[in-house]
Amino acid sequence: MVSYIFRRVVATLPVMAIVALLVFSLLYIAPGDPAAVIAGDQASPADVERIRQSLGLDRPFLVQFGTWVWRILHGDLGTSIFTNLPVASLIAQRIEPTLSLMVLTLVLTILIAVPLGVMAAWKAGSFVDRAIMAFAVLAFSLPVFVVGYLLAYVFALEFEWLPVQGYTPLAQGFWPWLENLILPAVALGGVYIALIARITRASMLEVLQQDYIRTARAKGLDQRSILFVHALKNAAVPIVTVIGIGVALLIGGAVVTESVFAIPGLGRLTVDAILRRDYPVIQGIVLMFSFLYTLVNLMVDVTYTLIDPRIRY
């Protein structure tokens, strides 16, 4: 297994190199002159040129890219154009709310979606199956911001059970932290639950037709053991795959969810940076999310080997 993990880690290095190149290219792909944006509308051409030289934008592309990569390798993501603060510090200040939202959404999603998919496969063709799949279609069709506003209106404004917006750090208590994240996590997890439930059902239906499942039933094993021990383990590879892919949905949905519930996370920071054209902040956030997604894919590959040892070879 060690050699397999090593090969997978090595394989991610070219991916991260390409991602870094694309992220750095945002500065050139985006419309407008960054130096002119920073200088403002009243700046003279001389002022714009002076800013361009101070940022190193007058140097060749490869030289700028090499300098940028060298700084990243030393933990320097650059400096925000508008706040004049290190990008790494801005990300560190906002990362807890975003990671908390994503982790809680992921946990709730797996705890809800996998049993729903197993139940739908077990009761295939019944009313329970059709109801679960109808819920999955509905959840997959509704945009995150629509679900978010509905949840906030019903549970926060009408019943006043939960806060309508904001974030409480985990250090101030588990329940205040959870209280602020329940509605955002449910809103963000709707699409994810639908996706995983459908994949779980499809994978379980295939496994439940296998001979060893019929043999387990003939031996008198109880239904719970057959479903969650024998069948689910052998159906887990596609489920783990879609869970890993779905992290991209969490990253993209976090931007919208944090805006709806006024959570001061990386999503809000990203929106503010885009509106201001704060390119160093945008580059740092996109690079961090890309690294996170690559790391999740690596963890998914390693999980494959635990589920099915044949994959190691």
CATH number at residue 121: 1.10.3720.10
Determine contact, residues 86/76, Cβ cutoff 8 Å: yes
Mean pLDDT of the chain: 81
User: Is residue 261 situated within a structural domain?
Assistant: yes
Q: Is the pLDDT of residue 58 over 60?
A: yes
pLDDT of residue 9: 75
Q: Is the pLDDT of residue 239 over 80?
A: yes
Q: What does the alpha-carbon distance between residue 178 and residue 130 come to, in Å, rounded to a whole number? A: 32
Q: Is the pLDDT of residue 39 over 70?
A: no
pLDDT of residue 33: 64
Q: What is the pTM of this model?
A: 0.81
Q: Is the pLDDT of residue 249 over 80?
A: no
User: Is residue 274 situated within a structural domain?
Assistant: yes
Residue predicted with more confidence, 107 or 301: 107
Determine contact, residues 235/247, Cβ cutoff 8 Å: no
Mean pLDDT, rounded, for 164-186: 86
Helix runs in the chain, H state only: 2-29, 34-39, 45-54, 61-73, 87-122, 127-141, 144-151, 174-207, 211-218, 223-225, 232-234, 236-260, 266-276, 279-307
- Among the residue ranges 53-67, 76-90, 96-110, 172-186, the one predicted with the least confidence is 53-67
pLDDT of residue 46: 76
Locus of tokens 């070879």: 313
DSSP annotation of 32 reads S
pLDDT of residue 41: 64
| Helices (H) then strands (E): counts for the chain | 14, 0
pLDDT of residue 312: 58
Mean pLDDT, rounded, for 89-112: 89
Mean pLDDT, rounded, for 182-208: 87
User: Is residue 295 situated within a structural domain?
Assistant: yes
pLDDT of residue 192: 87
- If one counts every other C-beta atom within 10 angstroms of the C-beta of residue 167, the result is 22
User: Is residue 48 situated within a structural domain?
Assistant: no
Q: Is the pLDDT of residue 305 over 80?
A: no
Per the structure, the count of domains in the chain is 1
Locus of tokens 């890219």: 65
Q: For residue 29, count CB atoms less than 10 angstroms from its CB and return exposed for 0-12, middle for 13-18, buried for 19 or more.
A: exposed
User: Is residue 159 situated within a structural domain?
Assistant: yes
Q: Is the pLDDT of residue 313 over 60?
A: no
Tell me phi and psi for residue 282, to 5 degrees. -60, -45
Determine the straight-line distance between the first and last CA of the chain, rounded to whole angstroms: 9
User: Is residue 205 situated within a structural domain?
Assistant: yes
* 86 DSSP β-pair partners: 79
Say what percent of the chain tops pLDDT 70.
89
Q: Is the pLDDT of residue 311 over 70?
A: no
Tell me phi and psi for residue 86, to 5 degrees. -60, 140
Q: Is the pLDDT of residue 189 over 70?
A: yes
Name the pLDDT band for 188 (thresholds 50, 70, 90): confident
- CA 308, distance to chain mean position in Å, is 25
Residues 6 or more apart whose Cβ sits within 8 Å of residue 30: 277, 279
User: Is residue 59 situated within a structural domain?
Assistant: no
Q: Is the pLDDT of residue 88 over 80?
A: yes
Provide the domain limits for residue 210.
Answer: 95-312
User: Is residue 123 situated within a structural domain?
Assistant: yes
Q: Is the pLDDT of residue 291 over 80?
A: yes
